[in-house]
Structure 1
Amino acid sequence: MKTKKLLLLLVILLNFSCKSQSKKINGVSFVASRDTISTQHITPVLKAQSNYVALMPFGFIKNLATPTITHNTKRQWFGETENGLLQYAKRFQKENVRIMVKPHIWVWRGEFTGNIKMDSEENWQVLEDSYTAFILTYAKAAASLNAEIFCIGTELEQFVVNRPAFWQQLIQKIRAVYKGKLTYAANWDEYSRVPFWKEIDYIGIDAYFPVSDLKSPTVADYEAGWQPHKQAILKLQKSVKKPVLFTEFGYRSVDFNGKEPWDSNRIEGSVNLQAQANALQAIHNQFWQEEWFAGGFIWKWFHRHANVGGEKNNRFTPQNKPAEELIRKLYGL
């Protein structure tokens, strides 16, 4: 009898362990601000049932052909610096929220980072040295925090395609100082050409795939639009044999939000709260039950919860919209 009870206990513990290990990354992309953060800024994230946050320090370059990245200066917002990253992360960690450190580059006037490309070998060398200094600053910070995931770059297609040897070497330098999991945030139309997926731990995708041309798609419409993209992602996943992580995913609460989901420049457009909720439900239906899918980070979440989003807002944030209630439900499953 004791043996049977012991075996039953072991089965229960093993089952619990497997469920715990299979818990998805239910993350939010927590936007850096001028301010320090406190419990009042973290509580809404906890209410959304999020178990991870992506924290995003920034470096800045003047234009797409500029090789020097300015970072960690007193002219930046607090949350965009190393000290800001450390303060944010430690506050979240006190609440048992896990961390992905995800450095970004901002090009003056908002030009697309995927088009950063140098016009000479000399400038490529300068960029590589500058990027190394930038990324190792935050890899070391991530190590000091015991952050679970570190993202080695965000949407840098031309840099990646033109300098593959640099990225192989950079991964080795990062691994020398940081022992957690690595990913890279590839743009939705870039991920299939990234040459170093086998060298890191997650296939990271900023998942702004076009999924519908309709004004206000249903959940079924969005899911149908996902099918060719999902098959392409799965084909790569089977080849590389690494889990897929949506380093960013999200939709604006606006008409036609599935047509060009990456488009954040258009301010105008009729508010469509239901379209945002439908799109988020569809992406969850299609991916969160897949064993090869690790989870994702919704774009985007602001620290002053009461002052953002709402029924008149047509931007990405789910805050104070039906999408926030939906995220709470889906992340709580």
Structure 2
Amino acid sequence: MESSLIRDCMASTFTDFLVKTWGKDRYLKQYKNISLSDAEIKRLNVKWQQYLEELPKAHPKIQKQAKTLPYLKGFNFAHEGYSIYNGYGSQKATESLLKQKNMGSNAMAIVPYTGINDINTPTPLHFSDNAGSENDDAVVHAVSMASKMGMYTLLKPQIYVGGSWPGGIDMPTDAQWDKFHDYYYRWIRHYAFLAEIHGMDALCIGVEFTKATLARPDAWRQMIKQTRALYSGKITYAANWGDEFEKIEFWDDLDFIGLNSYYPLSKKDNPTNAEMSLRFDTVKTKIKKVYDRFKKPIVFTEIGFRSIDTPWKNPHAEADETINEEAQQRSYEVIFKGIQNEPWCQGILWWKFPSYIEYRGEHNNAFTPNNKLAEETVREWFTK
């Protein structure tokens, strides 16, 4: 499957080739009912390859200077509704972004999704295009609004895996891995091109592919290289906490390191903030080890705690529990205090903030700090 954005560009390029090769009159004459012999197709293909070789010389890539990476303060911006009503493409999304800005945010990660159901079979990845989804128009609208507010924009496409997660993707053979990477690159390059066209500041090339990254680092290096040919902004990857983040080999190919940090802060039901801070110190030791090796700035591309009784035990868990805003707020305070003045830390993008402020109403035990005690904690630290 090829995205319409890429396909239309390819079709335009081929049309230009045919007009230059045949002339406008012949092209228009054969446009509706083209019929070529095998020999003609072979001759045309030779000329097509020559055309492609000359194309970069005729149209050299415009060298753009990527925006300097500031210290990021913001959220993963979640599409939680219907695109033009309360999702990315809506006025409500603009209001949500404005609230984030007023809380001190200077950045946002926007997260368009695709989905797969089989973690052991490579399949083409579809592109969001229906009116209720994170379609390109809605994504561009939200990014445009954020940019007008002076926010740094990170495009962070992700894969939803039914009954699993991206880290569960594991192909049984090298041939299937090759096919998976081919399908994935066809998907991510769509977003690289979209980010380039609309001037998005940074692109996250992948999220939490724990098996794919550790088993096949060279495939990711190649993908990063290919993506740089299309996109001139900063490129990162968002690694899962633990082995993936700590063992990835291709951090040196990226502009900054992304960490999705859901390291537990305590096993206790009611630890003190001091106890959780000591546990976070051990996490920071692991982070600094990666920083010392690769000398790349590190951004928390995700970190979050739900407003439940013990969010520090399993920060990534989604199970329903009793609402407890204070526990969430305490977890935020521990993280904010822990990352202050750390030379390796280039910012934090909390998981997450909804595309409309009324999301889930008053009885909300989800990750967002919106309209909870943690909101004031965010405002306090983001506005320092």
Q: TM-score range by the shorter chain?
A: 0.7 to 0.9
Partners of 1:203 and 1:280 in 2: CA distance: 21
Which string of whole-angstrom CA distances, capped at 9 and with x for unpartnered residues, describes residues 53-112 of structure 1?
A: 100111211221131142224347432x32222121112112112200001001123x12
Q: Is the 8 A contact 1:309 1:321 kept in 2?
A: no
Question: What does residue range 106-121 of structure 1 map to in structure 2 within 5 Å?
Answer: 106-109=160-163, 111-121=164-174
Q: 1:26 aligns with which of 66, 70, 73?
A: 73
Partners of 1:307 and 1:150 in 2: CA distance: 27
Structure 1 residues 28 and 325: alpha-carbon distance in aligned structure 2, compared to 1, 3 A threshold: same
- The aligned residue for residue 280 of structure 1 is 332
SS of corresponding position for 1:246: strand
Partners of 1:24 and 1:262 in 2: CA distance: 24
Partners of 1:308 and 1:331 in 2: CA distance: 24
- The aligned residue for residue 304 of structure 1 is 356
Question: What does residue range 243-254 of structure 1 map to in structure 2 within 5 Å?
Answer: 243-254=297-308
Q: Is the 8 A contact 1:218 1:278 kept in 2?
A: no
Unaligned runs of 5+ in 1: 1-20
Structure 1 residues 65 and 293: alpha-carbon distance in aligned structure 2, compared to 1, 3 A threshold: same
- The aligned residue for residue 27 of structure 2 is none
Partners of 1:129 and 1:23 in 2: CA distance: 33
Structure 1 residues 214 and 168: alpha-carbon distance in aligned structure 2, compared to 1, 3 A threshold: same
Partners of 1:198 and 1:307 in 2: CA distance: 39
What's the RMSD between the two structures over aligned residues?
Answer: 1.7
Partners of 1:107 and 1:260 in 2: CA distance: 20
Which string of whole-angstrom CA distances, capped at 9 and with x for unpartnered residues, describes residues 262-282 of structure 1?
A: 112x11x22221111111111
SS of corresponding position for 1:151: strand
Structure number with larger C-alpha Rg: 2
Structure 1 residues 257 and 271: alpha-carbon distance in aligned structure 2, compared to 1, 3 A threshold: same
Partners of 2:138 and 2:122 in 1: CA distance: 25
Question: What does residue range 28-177 of structure 1 map to in structure 2 within 5 Å?
Answer: 28-32=75-79, 33-35=81-83, 36-38=89-91, 39-75=94-130, 77-79=132-134, 81-109=135-163, 111-177=164-230
Q: Does 1:262 align with 2:351?
A: no
- Over the matched positions of the two proteins, sequence identity in percent amounts to 31
Q: 2:259 aligns with which of 182, 190, 205?
A: 205
Structure 1 residues 69 and 279: alpha-carbon distance in aligned structure 2, compared to 1, 3 A threshold: farther
Partners of 1:24 and 1:161 in 2: CA distance: 28
TM-score of the two chains, using structure 2 as the length reference: 0.76
Which string of whole-angstrom CA distances, capped at 9 and with x for unpartnered residues, describes residues 5-39 of structure 1?
A: xxxxxxxxxxxxxxxx8952001110124221223
SS of corresponding position for 2:76: strand
Partners of 2:361 and 2:166 in 1: CA distance: 26
Q: Which amino acid aligns with 1:24?
A: Y
Q: Is the 8 A contact 2:129 2:136 kept in 1?
A: no
Partners of 1:117 and 1:54 in 2: CA distance: 27
Q: Is the 8 A contact 1:28 1:301 kept in 2?
A: yes
- The aligned residue for residue 17 of structure 1 is none
4+ residue stretches of structure 1 with deviation over 6 A? Answer: none
Question: How far apart are residue 325 of structure 1 and its match?
Answer: 1.3
Question: How far apart are residue 48 of structure 1 and its match?
Answer: 1.7
- The aligned residue for residue 381 of structure 2 is 330
Partners of 1:86 and 1:146 in 2: CA distance: 10
Q: Is the 8 A contact 1:150 1:182 kept in 2?
A: yes
Q: Which amino acid aligns with 1:93?
A: S
SS of corresponding position for 1:323: helix
Question: How far apart are residue 202 of structure 1 and its match?
Answer: 1.3
Partners of 1:22 and 1:279 in 2: CA distance: 26
Which string of whole-angstrom CA distances, capped at 9 and with x for unpartnered residues, describes residues 134-172 of structure 1?
A: 111111111122222211100001111222211010010
Q: 2:343 aligns with which of 291, 298, 323?
A: 291
Partners of 1:168 and 1:262 in 2: CA distance: 28
Q: Which amino acid aligns with 1:313?
A: N
Q: Which amino acid aligns with 2:285?
A: Q
Partners of 1:64 and 1:299 in 2: CA distance: 25
Q: Does 1:321 align with 2:376?
A: no
Q: Which amino acid aligns with 1:130?
A: Y
Q: Which amino acid aligns with 1:210?
A: P
Which string of whole-angstrom CA distances, capped at 9 and with x for unpartnered residues, describes residues 181-240 of structure 1?
A: 111110111201111001101121101001111223332222111011111111110111
Q: Is the 8 A contact 1:308 1:320 kept in 2?
A: no
Question: How far apart are residue 42 of structure 1 and its match?
Answer: 2.3
